[in-house]
Chain A
Amino acid sequence: MKKVNVLILRVGGTNCDFETEWAFNLVGAFAERVHINQLIKKEKKLSDYQILVIPGGFSYGDDIAAGKVLANEIRMKLWDDIEKFIEAKKVIVGICNGFQVLVKSGILPFNSQQLCTLEWNDSGRFEDRWVYLKVERSVCPFFKDIPEIIKMPVAHAEGKFLPKNENILNKIEKNKQVILRYCDSKGNIKGYPYNPNGSVGSIAGICSQNGLIIGMMPHPERCVLKYYYPDFLRKKEDDIYTPSFKIFKNMIQYFS
């Protein structure tokens, strides 16, 4: 079987590209880290890849606002390629800073102008810790056979999901575009500290209307094996692969 090609978009300030590459390679894809200038200069073609990942980090030093400069750059220089990529029903994944870029460039939630944002955390701090997440029943095909409550690390200062108005939030909810919500260990939706940033509706991740473009604040690439969990010695689990591994696996299996 031909391997699925994954492009991991790199710009100045990206710092989660290595672990994202590693996670995709682990599930059997061929992942490659590509700098945005290689795409702009046409040294690499976006159409050669099936999955585009915008990884976490601090693109362009989070200057102006997190993800804003990269979102502008994508809008100005790569928009035609991205449109074709979306039309071809390929997969786009935005993790943390990547989610900010997808939202600020308008690709999520409806591929239009910007309708949502990720604001500063209510705590005014960089929140870097583990959170519980509730996997919602959404249109996204990559969360199949994932337990209802999972754990993932978050690390962000600007992660408060905020739609422009109530109608947009209702539309996202009605279309089943919410993929993950922050919750407590039993799955109840609660405020701070369970919701680390004060997101509206405790939303941690959303997808596009067809479910193929996903964006999320937590970092699945930081916990693909059970050894990454802080309590892995106390829990005797036979399977070394975690639900996050399964999410990456599902993305690859979508193309087989």
Chain B
Amino acid sequence: MKTKVPVIMSKNFYIIEIFKGKNIFDVFGQEIKKSIKELGILNIEEVKVSNLYRIEGNDIDKKKIIRIAKELLIDNVSEDYKIYRKTKKSLNWWIIEVYLKDGVTDPVGETARKTIIESKILKDAIVKTGKKYYIKGKLTEKQIKEICEKILLNPLIQNYFIYKG
């Protein structure tokens, strides 16, 4: 079944970043760290992983986005969230954001969109999901690119952006 693509006129958007709370074991961070070491890149200190929801809509404001994050997306026990529009660089960390390329179906985004509309917080929205990786260690840009293309994403269907603090 073809899903209807909503018509969103303005470029009004927010990004919700959902990450593991304090003292919660970040399984994916650990697994990725292991995979990077297996790649032969040993001077890696820490890896953290967050989920991103980029929400675009006509009638959005920060209050509504906070409601979406708190009521619909985060796990109130183990997760926390941040809301922003522009990715901030962070000292000592490499930040990699991964999104699906335009035209690639985003099923998680579609589910999140349906939940948002059913909750009546927004009338309509475009939701794009992505992943954000924080990598700490003395690494070169070449090594980061190798990590991205061999471990973190599939370059055929995903785009990535690298930020260095």
Contact = CB atoms under 8 A, between A and B. Distances in A.
Interface of A: 60-61, 63-65, 68-69, 72-73, 76-77, 104, 113-117, 119-124, 162-164, 198
Given A64-B108, A124-B27, A114 B76 contact: yes
Contacts of B76: 113-114, 117, 164
B7 interface: no
A163 B23 CA distance: 12
- For the complex of A and B, 3 pairs with smallest distance between CB atoms: A63-B111, A117-B77, A124-B27
Contact of B73 (A64, A115, A121, A163): A64
B115 A116 contact: no
Interface string B74-95: 0111100000000000000000
A98 to B, nearest CB: 17
Interface string B23-44: 0110110110000000000000
A64 B77 contact: no
Interface residues of B, number: 20
Given A64-B73, A68-B75, A114-B76, A124 B28 contact: yes
B107 A119 contact: no
Interface of B is mostly: helix
B100 interface: no
B118 interface: yes
B77 to A, nearest CB: 4
B118 A73 contact: yes
A164 B21 CA distance: 11
Contacts of B25: 119, 122, 198
Interface string B109-144: 001100100110000000000000000000000000
Nearest to B25: A122
B35 to A, nearest CB: 11
Nearest to B118: A76
Contacts of A77: 118
A120 B51 CA distance: 14
B157 interface: no
Given A69-B115, A76-B118, A119 B78 contact: yes
A64 to B, nearest CB: 6
Contacts of B119: 72, 76
Considering residues B28, B72, B75, which has the most beta carbons from chain A within 10 angstroms of its beta carbon? B75
